[in-house]
Structure 1
């Protein structure tokens, strides 16, 4: 497949320019910002969007929970990256793309990283206590998954599934923050998010497949190999089916559900048409574009809520 045009690639990645953001910070802060991936906001978006999906699916348009989830997503994504880098520091030294991260490069020590991790977790906790008790209790259920994820690539070909469990937990929290209890549409939304993550993170993993194979790290990219497009097509199709089920169960108007699913589905189709699993730049661009895919599903739900 031909490469994505340079103009389109720049449009899709312009909010992820590392140097510009880090250069605005004091010199001593930059390694910690890089450790938390503050210069690479795509991960924060992919963590935040399921939270906002849960709120929007519940018809909750109050600005405060959207803001609090945004702050929490920044803190918890940073904490997750710090945990990941502490666990993977020896692997990261052997992979070209990750060798210059703060821990493997020595810019931040393990002790400093642990202190920074504690600070980020405290910010997350401060955000969490602003929600109702069921949301607080459900949130603690994700901690074990967050800690376990970095080690999964050592034991299973499906670490992307565990990432999906962690990254989409916010779909449950957005719903419980609105209703104070968990109902089946939120579970359908959560399952859809897991399948979405299996798709986009398999694309992401194809960047490192040669290094991963060399050092013995497992991934769905290596597991699926040349059949990757077939598997991602299935994941994305199942994502749309479960999102449609969640919308139906939550009473989302038919027109809003249709717009949400057509928009996201069209974006999925575009990804599959352009995907070149042997081109790391192509994989990274398509991976980052998933913030638009998630936004295309979110926007019609917000509009429907505003019109209700």
Structure 2
């Protein structure tokens, strides 16, 4: 770990910081916001309200770090495909500005930092952290073999939900309880979030569908075919329905249901953006999805805050 730290200091001193920030999409925060809102929403559900500064800091920083580490792995795995797609051809690894070894080393640094945060919680959270790392490493290669690789991404982007419920149990939760400490409500939230990831990442895949067909990449947009828009809307419905069910069962009041309705209106707006399947419309819908997730999160926070 010390060697990795010194290596990281060296690369920053070399004046290449901007390249590494580009590698982790630092100037495009929509990616980690999509991961952050459902994770924090689950943390509020698990804690019955305000989770405390410690857990909030762990999950915010951990989310950003692991999303960034995932970008490093993804760009290395996809470098031969990305050069054939106009939107991704200039990514640092694909263009050769950052080597494979450097990208993986940087990703390892980020993952180690995230693991350090997990160490401040409990053993069950650490066990889930290893599960999340495994799925993160598998996802880039799923696009070669799985017809709907977005489902694998959905699992990776949902691991924070059971982690939140384990973390809310205190410091003494053993690793052997990493499943037992996850209630039915958490699994419903996870399934709903999986639907949301399928929705927005299918929109993202619709942008590159023509390029992906040429290079043989598998995506949900290709698999769903002419039913892609319908599939996206059904996935939005699954997300909002399951999170509404969990909210009602948790005793959250009308304010929460109002925010669910506002999020549903946003989903209908996305339908208007993607129904003609233009690249611009689909990409705009994808980029704006973090506002939909933020709306649901705000509903959870406000509902718990009200007397």
TM range, smaller chain: 0.7 to 0.9
Q: Equivalent of 2:16, from 18, 28, 32?
A: 28
- Aligned mates of 1:241, 1:44 — CA distance in 2: 23
Segments of structure 1 that go 5 or more residues without pairing to the other structure are: 1-24
Q: Which residue of 2 aligns with 1:42?
A: 30
Deviation larger for 272-281 or 128-137: 272-281
Q: How high is the TM-score relative to the length of structure 2?
A: 0.87
Counterpart secondary structure, 2:145: coil
Separation of aligned partners in 2, 1:60 and 1:141: 26
Name the counterpart of 2:90: 100
Deviation at 1:281, TM superposition (A): 2.0
After superposition, give the CA deviation of every residue in 1:200-256 in whole Å (9 maximum; x if it has no partner).
Answer: 10001111111100000011111222221111121111112211222233x132314
Residue pair 1:88, 1:150 contacting (<8 A) in 2 also? yes
Q: Distance in 2 between matches of 1:300 and 1:280?
A: 31
Which TM-score applies when normalising by structure 1?
A: 0.87
Partners of 1:253 and 1:99 lie apart in 2 by 46
Q: Cα offset for 1:27?
A: 4.5
For residues 47-196 of structure 1, what are the structure 2 equivalents within 5 Å? 47-58=35-46, 59-61=48-50, 62-179=52-169, 181-196=181-196
Q: Distance in 2 between matches of 1:156 and 1:213?
A: 14
- Residue 244 of structure 1 pairs with residue 234 of structure 2: no
How big is the alpha-carbon RMSD for the aligned residues of Structure 1 and Structure 2? 1.7
Aligned residues: 283
Other structure's SS at 2:233 match: helix
Unaligned runs of 5+ in 2: 1-12, 171-180
Quick check: 1:267 aligned with 2:266? Answer: yes
CA contact (8 A) 2:229 2:275 kept: no
| Residue 283 (structure 1) shift | 1.4
SS in 2 for 1:153: helix
